[in-house]
Amino acid sequence: MNKIIHSNINILLKRFGFILQECEQEWEREAFAKLYESRIKYVKKSCAHSAEGIVFSKDRALQLHALLSSYLEKAVSPVPFHILYHASTSEHQLSYEKLKELFSNKFSFIKQSSNNSFRADLIELLDSVLAEKTFFLVDDILFIENFDINDFTKFDTDKMVPSLRMGLNLKKCYTVQKEQPLPEFISYEGNDEGKIFWKWNQGLYDWAYPLSVDGHFFSTQEIIAMTKLIQFSAPNTYEDQLQKFRRFFLFRKGVGYKKARIVNIPCNKVQKENKNICGNTHQDFLLEQWLNGFQMDYRRLYGFPNISVHQEIPFEFIQR
């Protein structure tokens, strides 16, 4: 370990509420050193935007269309989106080609190089991000309320993990199928009456999950450093492996709007990395609807009072 890093690491550890002895595993000690090293070596890039978004997609053009359309309609001061996508068949690839035509020059589409290239492709994409902050989304998310990106990018990500998905309306955790109590909310010195603040280490379930790729904001240089330290093969395993850094984030505060701005609609599953529960609307059925000229009638869901960050919400189709 570099001597300068070794001599200064306790300063950063204390800032996040640790002492060095509490990092019980050597991996944690080295990982924290890498995070610190990325901080002192970081060179700010020139960028006109306060953040950039990265969207993960596989075989879900119809759902991705709803996400991107709702983003353009609901975002105040929208920032660049980069869609890292994978198509498992030629029909799914055709569906993405149609999507690219609809959003010509509005978003950046990056096709995965191969079935096994997700990690390398994501690192290359992250290295190209110019903004100081990065947030992630997955393709079965929908924006249901107006929001301003600048409301969140103004916060110091050393102390905060801003979230588009949290809100007072969340009373259930879908992934564990349990009721979910609200955390104790705390005051904040800024003038943010429309927002809620809490401590991630005092929440339960979704309220204690800062390292989500569903609408959470991170320091770009920090998320790059973490991404390069872990091994993964798909978005689900990426999020799973990010939890190795959870202890470093639990002592930060969460901030969100009083009502969630996004909802994840898990109507199907396109991966085999885990056994997450979901609905039974197969992606190939949605592909058929998309290729026949239909889209999700996503505007019908604007303002939806979701009670969980993931919720199986029925939706209808309209002619595209």
Domain boundaries, the chain: 3-41, 51-149+208-241+261-319
More confident residue, 13 or 232: 232
Task: Give yes or no for residue 175 having a pLDDT over 70.
Answer: yes
Mean pLDDT of all residues belonging to the chain: 89
- What does pTM read for this prediction? 0.90
Measured CA to CA, the distance from residue 232 to residue 238 in angstroms comes to 5
Q: At what angle do helices 283-291 and 61-74 cross, to 10 degrees?
A: 70
Task: Give yes or no for residue 142 having a pLDDT over 80.
Answer: yes
What is the Cα Rg of the chain in Å? 20
User: Which pLDDT score is estimated for 271?
Assistant: 63
Neighbours of 197 (CB within 10 A): 17
pLDDT digits (tens, 9 = 90+) for 96-133: 999 999 998 899 999 999 999 999 999 999 999 999 99
Counts of helices then strands in the chain (DSSP H, E): 10, 16
pLDDT digits (tens, 9 = 90+) for 179-228: 999 999 998 877 677 899 999 999 999 999 999 999 999 999 999 999 99
In this structure, what DSSP letter does residue 61 have? Answer: H
Task: Give yes or no for residue 273 having a pLDDT over 70.
Answer: no
> Which CATH number is associated with domain 51-149+208-241+261-319?
3.90.550
Q: Which of 276, 258, 260, 279 is nearest to 268 (CA)?
A: 279
pLDDT digits (tens, 9 = 90+) for 245-258: 998 899 999 999 99
User: Which pLDDT score is estimated for 192?
Assistant: 76
Measured CA to CA, the distance from residue 267 to residue 79 in angstroms comes to 27
Cα atoms in the 13 Å half-sphere on the side-chain side of 123:
12
User: Which pLDDT score is estimated for 51?
Assistant: 96
